[in-house]
Structure 1
Amino acid sequence: MFYNECQNVQSRYKLINGAPSNVPLWKKSYAMSFDNITRNAKWVYEVLNKETSVNNCVQEPFGDPYEGGHLAAAANHRWCWEALNDTNLNCNIIPQHKTLNKGPWKVLENWCRELRNQTGVHNVHVYSGPLYYRPILEQMNPRIIGDKLVPTHLFKVIIVENEDGTVEEPECYVMPNDVPFSPDRRDYFVDIRFLQDISGLTFIEHRNVGQREKIVTATLQGQDVNSTLQSVNIRVRIST
């Protein structure tokens, strides 16, 4: 990973130089923070661009071996086998209502990929994770599947970084982990300040006038289905 100074770009929002909370774990296709109490991820972060969207891992469908849902979607990370397999690790799986997983949550995942392919979009930054509105740890009989606490809600934060260096206003969604009350993703939209308050996480920051910026670049490599070495490049502008 490399850092280079770059010219400032006028943009109301700025990508954070760090993680929403401490102790991140880095995988081939995403970064995350794991909660040893709930046995679920606190958050999962992905960067989607046109290079990471390449599918080098076509395989015959054999059914999902997990009853839970993916935070970092498997369909986002098919550019190499390791990236795809990382999405099926237990730490990326969360107890999720089946109707939600196949309904509005899937619509939201598809929306992230649609944004990635729009003209002028450089990166789509995606944060996903669980929320616990009720004091689950204080309940006499908390809902548990396997060794995981069942979240009451799931969140997703989508931040578009344009090719000109500007950052769009974040799209934030909170969905009850239950039978969906609406198929429309827009009915689950919430303000970024509300989500940051209830989650205790930081996803975005407002830029200060004259704030310095850096370009962070990274090249990821891995083998595809034919054991051919594939690589993708990620380039992100952050404030310092």
Structure 2
Amino acid sequence: MLHRFYKSLLMAFAVCLMSGCMANSAHKPLIGGIKDSVDGTEERSQSGQTDKKSAKAAVADALEIPAPLKGIPEQMLKRTGYTVSYNSETKLPNWVAWHLTAAHTDGQAKRPRKAFHEDEDVEEPRATDWDYYNSRYDRGHMCPAGDNKWSEEAMMQSFLFTNICPQAPSLNRGDWNEMENMCRKWAKEYGDVYIVCGPVLYKGKHKTIGKNKVVVPEAFFKVVLCMKGEPKAIGFIYKNGDGNRPKGDYVNSVDQVERITGFDFFPKLPDSIEKRIEAAADASEWGI
């Protein structure tokens, strides 16, 4: 009888213990778990609290990356200050994308002593300094050195030839440079902007320079996205030649730039926002 009493007591204790474990398991905090949308993003911390701000930042960090390309060579290269889609046939970037914050518009990093250099992360043949020698083209940055002063490593990487295109000197030092300065102004004004730029190659045979036959683009594009307040976007097309024109002369909608390049920009935006802002090209909204 006493034996049965102790046996029942032990069984009851075991049941209580198991119930307690199940309850504890049910209330364990979730770690990670970022939803793939901007507005509905949530992230659970170890304390079980929802940290929407950090989760939105994690998703927003990819806003500048265009959709994967089809029928075009593409090697993705992630750098400290930007991301490159590299084309092994043209020896150029297909596009270069970066998130420019107000904090990244200035810094102490200086231009390297021997600045331009080969990118050993891509196979040979690849662009070298000798390809540009006596070519009458500048080594034109896509992601500018001026956007990478915040980091010595970022500054050094901005001079890799996978971030460079043959660019008409008057464009590189003139209107293209003015737009780079304008983008930094916007980053300071709005807190941050998302930028994608690169070469435009029209159908037909292209001019090349150097032993490695680096293609000379016929034009260049740049698209800029601002998410502060009411989201807005704007595009630009620059012919690769002489010109000294007002910024407004280069303005296009993002939709127009997509038709010219074949690229899909800002694909992570909700469709309703993407369609609206990519169809517009209001230079006055940007102070142009």
TM-score (norm 2): 0.60
Indicate if the aligned counterparts of 2:105 and 2:188 stay in contact, CA closer than 8 A. no
Instruction: Spell out the pairing of 1:209-228 with structure 2 (5 A cutoff).
Output: none
Residue 153 to residue 133, structure 1, CA distance change in 2 (3 Å): same
| Residue 43 (1) aligns with residue 105 (2) | no
Match of 2:241?
A: 178
Determine helix, strand or coil for the equivalent of 1:179.
Answer: coil
| Residue 151 (1) aligns with residue 214 (2) | no
Question: What's the CA shift for 1:54?
Answer: 3.4
Determine helix, strand or coil for the equivalent of 2:105.
Answer: coil
Indicate if the aligned counterparts of 1:122 and 1:161 stay in contact, CA closer than 8 A. no
Instruction: Spell out the pairing of 1:1-240 with structure 2 (5 A cutoff).
Output: 4=34, 7=39, 16=63, 18-22=65-69, 23-58=75-110, 67-118=138-189, 121-136=190-205, 142-146=206-210, 147=212, 148-162=214-228, 164=229, 166-168=230-232, 170-180=233-243, 182-205=244-267, 207-208=270-271
Question: What's the CA shift for 1:207?
Answer: 2.8
Higher relative contact order (CA 8 A, sep 6+): 1
Determine helix, strand or coil for the equivalent of 2:154.
Answer: helix
Structure 2 Cα separation of the partners of residues 125 and 19 of structure 1: 11
Which segment drifts farther, 54-63 or 64-73?
A: 54-63
Structure 2 Cα separation of the partners of residues 49 and 95 of structure 1: 27
Indicate if the aligned counterparts of 2:64 and 2:195 stay in contact, CA closer than 8 A. no
Residue 8 to residue 75, structure 1, CA distance change in 2 (3 Å): same
Determine helix, strand or coil for the equivalent of 2:89.
Answer: coil
Amino acid at match of 2:241: D
Indicate if the aligned counterparts of 1:103 and 1:183 stay in contact, CA closer than 8 A. no
**Unpaired segments ≥5 residues, structure 2:** 1-31, 42-59, 70-74, 117-128, 133-137, 273-288
Determine helix, strand or coil for the equivalent of 2:235.
Answer: strand
TM-score (norm 1): 0.71
Tell me the matched-pair count. Answer: 194
**Unpaired segments ≥5 residues, structure 1:** 137-141, 210-240
Residue 173 to residue 91, structure 1, CA distance change in 2 (3 Å): same
Question: What's the CA shift for 1:26?
Answer: 0.4
Question: What's the CA shift for 1:18?
Answer: 4.9
Structure label with greater radius of gyration: 2
Structure 1 Cα separation of the partners of residues 113 and 250 of structure 2: 31
